[in-house]
């Protein structure tokens, strides 16, 4: 299977943040769904955010060089 790179942009909304925390991640995965799951697990673990608090705004496929 061929891996692809996905650029995922979004924000994390938590009550104790004064403003939304923006993120821009480059994830290498086989499918888009796998990249989304990886973002949820990494950001949820790092910032103690639930899936409802993570808002993914755009997903684009990047060219792998």
The 10s digit of each residue's pLDDT in 33-48 is 999 999 999 999 999 9
pLDDT-derived band at 63, boundaries 50, 70, 90: confident
CB 49 within 8 A of CB 28: no
Strands 21-29 and 54-62: unpaired
Question: In terms of C-beta distances under 8 Å and separation of at least 24 residues, what long-range contacts does 40-47 make, across chains too?
Answer: 43/12, 47/12, 47/14, 47/21
CA dist 40 and 46 (Å) reads 10
- CATH number assigned to the domain comprising residue 24: 3.10.20.10
CA dist 17 and 12 (Å) reads 9
What pLDDT sits at residue 65? 67
Q: Structural domain tally of the chain?
A: 1
pLDDT-derived band at 2, boundaries 50, 70, 90: confident
The range of the structural domain enclosing residue 25 comes to 4-62
The overall pTM is greater than 0.85: yes
The 10s digit of each residue's pLDDT in 4-24 is 999 999 999 988 888 999 999
């Amino acid at each position: 299977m061929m891996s692809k790179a996905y650029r995922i942009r979004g924000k994390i909304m938590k009550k104790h943040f004064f403003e939304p925390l923006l993120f821009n991640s480059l994830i290498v995965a086989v499918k888009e769904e796998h990249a989304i799951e990886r973002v949820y697990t990494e950001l949820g673990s790092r910032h103690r955010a639930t899936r409802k608090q993570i808002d993914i705004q755009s997903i684009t496929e990047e060219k792998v060089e």
